[in-house]
Each structure stands twice: as structure tokens, then as C-alpha cells.
Structure 1
Amino acid sequence: MASSLNHFGGPTVRREKKSKCPQLRDRRIRVLGSLFIFFAFACVIGIADAIAEDNDEAFDPVTGYRIAHYRAAVPDAVKGGTRIDLDKVDELIANGALLLDVMPSEGAGPDPVTGQWRLSRPHSSIPGSVWLPDVGRGRITPAFDNYLSDNLAKLTAGDKSREIVVFCQSDCWMAWNAVQRIAALGYGKLYWFPEGTDGWVEWGDRKLVPATPVPLAPASGP
């Protein structure tokens, strides 16, 4: 309230005007609140649809292999294999398991004449592992299919019950792909170590060693 002196010398009291329609004001607040919720929900739906569309494009519709955005959060499980942690890796190493690194190569790829990999960047891996680059890509050529199957046959001496630990680096879908591809070849004891070389160093405080990729057969260049 505000006041002033009237002609009698006393205060004149002026009352503040009140809204004539408090219901209208409340209704407007409710409408604005509803609109805010609606648009927030629409944004969430839009983001979810975009993610779903992106995920659909990231997988081969026939094979189910990941074909794009290989560095992303990976799922909890893989078809044909068992997800393991570092303690289980240690146990499998002690039991003589094959350690298979499927980290992709950086460079010009294998020389079509010699089969030697032309790398632009060196790679380090878990001690005792075998590096077969690019076999975890979602789509590979017949030459790489043979590269994978032939080397597995040699490394396991034809024993498809041999325990195999497949890895790459953290948040890498190529090891996830490779486990399924190897399972399709008939190998039954496959283990997926999704933390890969990153987990080996960070969790175990261990060292990596320089890795040399197994060359392709000279006549099998992609």
C-alpha cells in the first residue's frame, strides 16, 4: 500500500490494484509449464531417434557386424564369446591361451607384392600376443577372410577348442566383430577383453611391447 496527506492533514491510503483474474494468471502458468514439458520431451525424442538412426547405419543389416563408428561404447556381451576382465585374462594366459590383437592398422595397408604391412604409426600390444590387423572390420575382403582363418589354423595347430582372448583397445568394436567372425569359423572357447591394451596398462599398471603385424600371403593382397 502507498499513502499521502489528504486535505484533512491525515494520510490517504491507496490500495495496490490486484489482478482481476487470478485464475487467468494461473492458467497461463500452467499452459507455459505444459509447453515447456512438451518441447523438452520432443527434444529428447528427437535425440533418441537420431541415435537410433545412427545405430541402424552403424551395423550391417545382414551380418550384424559393426561397420562404422568403431570407437564407441561397447555392449556388455558378444555372441559366440564371453566377456572377461583383467583377472580372467591373467588366468587364461597362465593356462596358455592365445592372445589375439585385432587393432586396425594405420598406414597404406599390406604391400600387394610382399604382404608386409606399410605402417605409418607403430603399435604396442600385450606381451605374447599376435597382431592380426583389420580382421575386426565389419566388412572385409576374401583375402582378409583367408588371412584370419589361415593364421588361426596355424596358431592353434588346428585345435578349435583352444582358448583365444580377442582384444583391441577400450571402446573398440573391432574386437566385438572379430569374436563373432572367429566363432563362425568353429572356434568354441572365445573370450572378449573389451578394455584391451588400455585396460592392460591402466588397470594392471603393466607395460606394452612393440607389436609386428603378421604379413599377408603375397598373393592375397586386398
Structure 2
Amino acid sequence: MALAALLLASGAAAAPPPEPAGYREDDFRSPTPATLQGARVVTTEEAEALWRAGVPFIDVMPRPPRPAALPPGTIWRDPPHESIPHAHWLANTGFGALAPETEAYFRGALDRLTGGDKARPLVFFCLRHCWMSWNAAKRALSYGYTQVIWFPDGSDGWSDAALPLERLQPVPP
């Protein structure tokens, strides 16, 4: 732990962690691997070219839950979600384990976005250092999608490059 703090303070970057065999189940906001076996990993510049070419982008950021302590009848409005323009926000689909309903939602949305063509490219993203997009891209590979593209810098890298963001709403089930 002290070595990691020293490396960060000195500006030295730690090596990315290796790919796990399965999905990441916890600590989702931590350094991610540099690779995803079976997927293409892209930089912000490459992601922008894909976006301009019309490749579907899939944002897997979780949707903030309604606070449990709100009194009954209190109006709850989701905080705004800024993302890559025209991305499809498939909220909560990047967790390590998905409820059957969430998995059906994810499979159905991918099928609709590709017209059932599992060879159609799809770009998965979240935020920088977010395992949710890694998990979602890995899951798409397990469904038989062959042109899975992972954008690990996500909306953070997009924003850092002064590219536009827009507010998104989750894709309905």
C-alpha cells in the first residue's frame, strides 16, 4: 500500500492488473486491465473515429438508486447522466453478476442494436478505471458477439479530449 502511494505521488504508473478469469464482482472503480481477450481495446482517438462512423456506443454506468431514507411520497429525480452523444445507456448491465431480468434486458438491447447481427461492432464504455464496461464487453463476447470493442477511458477520456457530452436517459426495457 505504501509503495502504491509512493508510485502515485512520484507520477509513476503502476502496471495494469491482469485479466481475471471471470467477471469483476466488487471494487468496480479501480484500475482495469489493459486488455480484454477477444475484444479490441481502443484509445479516445480511435473511439471518436468509430463514433463518427456510426458504430453503436453502449454506456453501462449504473443508475443511482432512489435513496432508501426518502419519506414516502417524496419526489425523486435521477441525477443527470452526461455521456457520449447518441450512446445507448444500458444502466446496471456491467455488474459481475446480473439478475435474470437485467441479463434479459442486456441481451435484448444488444440484439435490437445489432439487428441480430452478432458480427456488428459495438463499443462498450463507462468511466476510466471502471470494471463495469470490462464486464459488459466480456459478457457480450460470451453471448457470441465477435466485434466487441472496449473503450476503457470512457466518458472521462472523451471529456478530457474536449469532445461533446450529452445527457442520457436509460434505454427502457
Q: Report the TM range for the smaller structure's normalisation.
A: 0.7 to 0.9
Q: Deviations over 1:68-121 (max 9, x none)?
A: 000001111012311110111122123321100001110239xxxxxxxx7632
What is the distance in 1 between the residues matched to 2:50 and 2:117? 16
What is the distance in 2 between the residues matched to 1:174 and 1:91? 23
The alpha carbon displacement at 1:159 in A equals 1.1
Higher relative contact order (CA closer than 8 Å, sequence separation 6+)? 2
What is the distance in 2 between the residues matched to 1:197 and 1:156? 22
Tell me the amino acid that sits aligned with residue 30 of structure 2: A
Match of 2:131 in 1: 173
TM-score calculated relative to the size of structure 2? 0.80
2:82 is the counterpart of 1:124: yes
Match of 2:45 in 1: 87
Match of 1:133 in 2: 91
Match of 1:153 in 2: 111
Tell me the amino acid that sits aligned with residue 144 of structure 1: T
Tell me the amino acid that sits aligned with residue 207 of structure 1: P
Query: Percent identity among equivalent residues?
Result: 36
Match of 1:97 in 2: 55
Match of 1:207 in 2: 164
User: When you count helix as a share of all residues, which structure comes out higher?
Assistant: 1
Gap regions ≥5 residues in structure 1? 1-42, 45-54, 110-117, 217-222
Gap regions ≥5 residues in structure 2? 4-16, 68-75
**Alignment root-mean-square deviation, CA:** 2.1
Cα distance change on mapping 1:159 and 1:211 into 2, 3 Å: same
Q: Deviations over 1:150-175 (max 9, x none)?
A: 01111111111111110001110000
What is the distance in 2 between the residues matched to 1:181 and 1:64? 10
User: When you count strand as a share of all residues, which structure comes out higher?
Assistant: 1
